[in-house]
Amino acid sequence: MTAAVPSREGPAPVLRVEDLCVDYFTDAGRLRACDQVSFELGPGQRLGLVGESGSGKSTMALALMRMIKPPGKIAGRVFVGDDELTSMDDNAIRSARMRLIGMVPQAAMSALNPVIRIRAQIADVLQVHEPAMPDAQVKARIAEVLEAVELRPEVANLYPHELSGGMKQRVCIAIAVALRPKVIIADEPTSALDVIVQRQVMDTIGRLQREMNIAVILIGHDMGLMAQFVDRLSVMYAGKLAEIGPTGELFARPTHPYTHMLISSLPTLGKKGVFRGIPGITPSLLSLPSGCYFRTRCPYAMPICSEVTPAQQAHGTDHRSSCHLSNVEGGLTGRIAAEAASVPDARMGGFS
């Protein structure tokens, strides 16, 4: 079991995830792409989820919506308010999806059906959940949600190929918020857009979050965007939550070397010099190393790291990570300081 999450001051969480696990069964064997993930999300809170490709971010998002297809298997519990999603029967989960948790899926733009007009694609979500809604009301709601994402009502008459990438992404966001869910998950919502449109789309998500008080889980790779957008940040590595905590605190005082390396790989205008990448590649989920999964790439690995899987440890009320360095005097901060004092930039490798 994961360490209990220390209680936070403030309103009850809208989302509570307890020991969420996802197993996929492949020809090469079973792999665990989400491994005992636990966290909470307060109303209207913005949580970022980062981690290299294949670390399990989309898997976790799909598991929260109970959208892992068999033979994939989900274990653990997901509460939205008092509703527990993983034990619901098929009818209940169909009604809960999009009503409790909305989702902007990864590659959302290709998720739109190319041969169906936007109007019908939004109407579909409304009518599945409220079949008795009169046509006039459906029409009004479609115009309303399009306006909420800054699109003209006439966009409803168009097919996806008639829209720009940014407009398609906005339609996907409109569908995700159409039923005013308590939580939306946006899986890399801006990765296929140019920087100007990225900014506009993030502004729209931010405004909807504030106006509707929707909690947002933003999945992405862009640490700069995360620093600006989210209140809390979580870092995933090989299916496990390596660290989670308030964004400012994670950037100022990361307690997991992987978090520190992700932050160090962010280029800054003020600091010229070696651009630090993370050496090595993510391990295959089919053959994970013993002990800590990150130890094969960790510049601070100790003998215990190959022997014992590190337990989650709290650093204050809302900050947790799993790293054996937390039990060493000075922790990660001490190691970073010692390293800086000896050979700067020597250990993490990189390229100029």
Ligand X SMILES: Nc1ncnc2c1ncn2[C@@H]1O[C@H](COP(=O)(O)OP(=O)(O)OP(=O)(O)O)[C@@H](O)[C@H]1O
Structural contact between residues 120 and 128, judged by C-beta atoms closer than 8 angstroms = no
- Give the residue with the Cβ less far from ligand X, 3 or 286: 286
Structural contact between residues 39 and 241, judged by C-beta atoms closer than 8 angstroms = yes
Stretch that binds Mg ion, among 98-106, 150-158, 172-180, 310-318 (CB under 5 A): 98-106
The entry of Mg ion, ligand X, none that residue 51 binds, CB within 5 to 8 Å by partner kind: ligand X
Q: Around Cβ 206, how many Cβ atoms within 10 Å? A: 15
Q: State the number of binding residues for Mg ion (CB under 5 A).
A: 3
The entry of ligand X, Mg ion, none that residue 56 binds, CB within 5 to 8 Å by partner kind: ligand X
Q: For 303, which DSSP code? A: H
Binding to Mg ion by residue 58, rule CB under 5 A?
A: yes
Residues numbered 159 to 218 that lie near Mg ion (CB under 5 A) are none
Binding site for ligand X (CB under 6 A): 24, 26, 33, 51, 53-59, 72, 106, 285
Q: For 343, which DSSP code? A: S
Stretch that binds Mg ion, among 2-10, 99-107, 280-288, 313-321 (CB under 5 A): 99-107
Cα(117)–Cα(133) distance, integer angstroms: 20
Smallest distance, Å, CB 226 to ligand X?
14
Binding to Mg ion by residue 106, rule CB under 5 A?
A: yes
User: Of 348, 323, 120, whose CA–CA distance to 241 is shortest?
Assistant: 323
- Give the residue with the Cβ less far from ligand X, 36 or 106: 106
- Give the residue with the Cβ less far from ligand X, 222 or 318: 222
In the complex, the residues that contact Mg ion under the rule CB under 5 A are: 57-58, 106
